[in-house]
A and B are shown apart, each in its own frame.
Chain A
Amino acid sequence: MTTTDSPPDARPGPARAPARRRRRTGDTERGFSRVFRWVATGSGAFLLLVLAAVAVFLVARGLPALTASPDELSDRGGLPTGMDSLWDLVGPLVFGTLLAAAMALLLATPVAIGIALFISHYAPRRAASVIGYVIDLLAAIPSVVFGLWGGRTLAPVISDVWVWVAGVLDVLPFWTVEVTNTGRSLATASVVLAVMILPIITAVSREVFLQTPTLHEEAALALGATRWEMIRTAVLPFGRSGVISAAMLGLGRALGETMAVLMILSPGILYSFQIFDSGQQQTIAAFIASRFAEASGLAVNVLIATGLALFVITMVVNMAARAIVARRKEFSGAN
C-alpha cells in the first residue's frame, strides 16, 4: 500500500495510467464494494467525530459559565448562596467525587481480586462458570435499582454499623467523628458504588489470572509452595498490571455514577472528611442530576461546566487504564 500510494511527483508516470491502478491489490473492489468501504470507513471516522463533538459541545456550552463575572454568577448562576466563583462550586464537587470513588475503589478492589482468584484458582471448574454468571448478573442490575435498595434497605441497616465505627474512631485525639443515624452518608453511598464496580474489576482481573502460564504455576508448586504461595509467586506478579487497569476502569465507573449517590447521599458542598455524616459532600454527577430540572440560562452553563470537569477526569482515568491494557497486550503478543 505504501508503494502504490506514493505521491504523484515521486512517480511521474504517463498521464494515461488509469486511476484504477492506484490500488493494485484492490482488483475486486469496484462499484458498490468501493462505496461499501467508504461507508464503513466513514462510520469509523463518525465515531471519533461523536466523541470530539461531546467534548466540543461541553466546552462551548460550559464556556459562558467560565467567562461570566462573579456578579452574574451569584445572580443567575444557580450557585449555592454565598458563592460567587465557579471554583467555589466545582472544587468541593471534584473533591466529593474523588473521595467517593476512592473509597469505593478501596472497598471493591480487594474483594474483586479475591473473587477473581476464587473463580480462577479455587472454585471447582463447573462452579467457576456459574459464579462468573452470578457476578455478571450483578453488572446487569440498573443503577437506579441499586439506588432504591441502597436508600431504602441498606442505609437504615448500615447506619448502626457506622455509628459503631464512628464510636471506635472517635478515640483518635485529633479528629471528632460526626455520624448521622439516617445512614445517608458518603460512606453508605461508597459501599453501594463498590458493589456496582465489583463486576468490572472482577471480570478483567479474572481474565488476567486465567492467562497465567501453567509453567510458572507448576514451577512454584514443584518448589514446595502452598496454593497461596503459588499465587503470590506466580499469579499476582504476572497479573499486576492487569489488576491495576481493572481497578482504574472501576474507578472510571465510580466517578461517573449518578443515581446511587443521588438517591442515598444527603448532600452538602464542603471539603469534608466526615464520611459518616450527612450534609457534607456531593459528587458532580449527582449534583447535575439534582439541579438540572430547575436550572435555566447561566445556571445550565454552570452545570455543563461542572459536567466538563467530570468528563475530563473520567477520560484521563479511562485512557490511562486502556493504555495499560493495550501495552500489556503488546507484551504478551511479543512473547
Chain B
Amino acid sequence: MSATSPTAATTTETAERTRALLTAADPGRRRADRAMTVLIYGAFALAVVPLVSLLWTVVLRGAERFDADFLLTSMRGVFGGMDMGGAYHAAVGTLMITLTATVISVPIGLLVAIYLVEYGRGALARATTFFVDVMTGIPSIVAGLFAFALFSIFLGPGAKLGIIAAVALSVLMIPVVVRSCEEMLKLVPNELREASYALGVPKWLTIVRVVLRTSVAGITTGVLLAVARVIGETAPILITAGVSDSINFNPFDGRMMTLPVYIFSQYRQGPVPCQEGALDCLVDINFDRAWAAALLLIVIVMLLNLIGRLVTRWFSPKLR
C-alpha cells in the first residue's frame, strides 16, 4: 500500500508499525535468555572454585615442607611428632611400580590397538572395542582385588609386593593405552600404507616402519597421559603393596610405599598428641607431610600432562 500511495501520513504510520514490530522484544523471553546465560556462566564459575581452592591449598600447604630434606629421606625411624622424615621411599615406590606397570601395559595395549586398527574385523574386534570401553570403567579397587586374588594362588594370602600393585595398575592402564594408541594409528593416512605395500614391503614391516614410525609422537603422548592417570591411584596399591616406611627398589620383594598411599597413611595418622611443652613435637606434622607429598604428586602429574602435550606439538609429523 505504501508503494502505491506514498503520502507522508501512511509512510510514517507503516514505519511506526514496523518499528513496534522490530523493537517488540518479549520481556519474559529476554529475561529467560539472560537468566540462562547467567546460569551457564555460573556453572563454569562453580567448577573453577574447587579447582582453584584445591590447587591453592596444595601449593600453599605443600610448600611448607617441600624441600631437599623431604625429597631425600624416608620415614624409617620416624615416629610421634618428630620434625623429620620425608617421601623419598614413596617416590621410589611410585617410580618402580608405575614403571613396571608401564612395561606390562604398553606392549599389550599397543598390540591390541594395532589389532583393532590394522586387522580388526568381525565379532572378536567388535567385542574387543566394546570391552576396552567397558574396562575403562572398572573400579580401581576391583582391579586391586583381582591382582591380589591372582597372586594369592602362587604366593599365599599375605603377600604384599610391588609387582602385584603393578599388575593391578596394568588392568587400569591397558584400556587407556589401547584407546589413545588406536586414535593415533587411525590418524595415519591409508595412502602411506598403500605406498609401502606397493614397494613390496610386507605388512608387519609396514606397520612397524611406516605406521608406528609416523605415529610415534602421538603414542608417546598417549602413554604419558595413561601413566599420569594411574600414577595417582591409591586404593589398589594400598591393598596389594601395603604400607612401608623404608626404601625398597625391588618390586619382587617386600612391601612398597607410593606417593598416593603415603599421602593417605599420613592423613590417616592424624594430629600427634604432643606432651605439654615438648619442643621436638609438631602436632600437625603428619598433615604437613601429606600436603607436601600431594604437591609433589600434582607436580609430577602436571609435568607428565605438559610433556605429553608438548611431545605431540613438537614431534608429530605434519600429515596435512
Contacts and interface: CB of A to CB of B under 8 A. Distances in A.
Interface of A: 1, 28-33, 35-37, 39-41, 43-48, 50-51, 53-54, 57-58, 60-61, 110-115, 117-118, 122-123, 131, 134-138, 140-149, 151-154, 195, 198, 202, 226-229, 231, 249, 252-253, 255-259, 262-263, 285, 288-289, 292-293, 296-297, 300, 303-304, 307, 310-311, 314-315, 317-319, 321-322, 325-326
Interface stretch (B1-9, B43-51, B77-85): B43-51
A13 B302 CA distance: 64
24 contacts: A30-B202, A41-B124, A47-B132, A50-B171, A54-B146, A118-B43, A131-B44, A142-B260, A142-B297, A148-B267, A151-B267, A198-B47, A226-B30, A252-B137, A256-B141, A257-B139, A259-B264, A262-B235, A285-B141, A289-B141, A289-B235, A297-B157, A310-B141, A319-B134
Contacts of A135: 47
Interface of B: 29-30, 32-33, 36-37, 39-44, 46-48, 50-51, 53-54, 57-58, 108, 111-112, 114-116, 118-121, 124-125, 127-128, 130-143, 145-146, 149-150, 152, 157-158, 171, 174-175, 178, 197, 202-204, 207, 228-229, 231-235, 238-239, 242-243, 260-261, 263-264, 267-268, 287, 290-291, 294, 297-298, 301-302, 305
Nearest to A39: B111
A219 to B, nearest CB: 18
A153 B197 contact: no
Nearest to B57: A153
A307 B37 contact: no
B135 to A, nearest CB: 6
Contacts of A143: 232-234
Nearest to A123: B44
Given A147-B264, A259-B234, A57 B115 contact: no
Contacts of B119: 37, 40-41
Given A41-B115, A48-B127, A137-B51, A57 B150 contact: yes
Interface residues of A, dominant DSSP: helix
B28 to A, nearest CB: 11
A51 B135 contact: yes
Contacts of A249: 137
Contacts of A317: 137
Contact of A195 (B50, B145, B152, B229): B50
A122 B38 CA distance: 11
A100 to B, nearest CB: 13
Given A31-B202, A148-B267, A311-B138, A227 B37 contact: yes
B235 A315 contact: no
B58 A145 contact: yes
Contact of A229 (B33, B108, B112, B229): B33
A135 B39 CA distance: 18
B2 to A, nearest CB: 24
Contacts of B234: 142-144, 258-259
Contact of A115 (B43, B133, B228): B43
Given A118-B44, A122-B40, 18 more contacts: A58-B146, A60-B149, A114-B40, A114-B42, A115-B44, A143-B232, A148-B291, A226-B33, A227-B33, A228-B32, A229-B29, A256-B137, A256-B142, A259-B235, A288-B235, A289-B238, A311-B138, A314-B138
A47 B131 contact: yes
Contact of A144 (B143, B242, B264): B264
Contacts of A113: 43
Contacts of A35: 204
Nearest to A291: B239
A135 B50 CA distance: 11
Contacts of B125: 44
Contacts of A30: 202
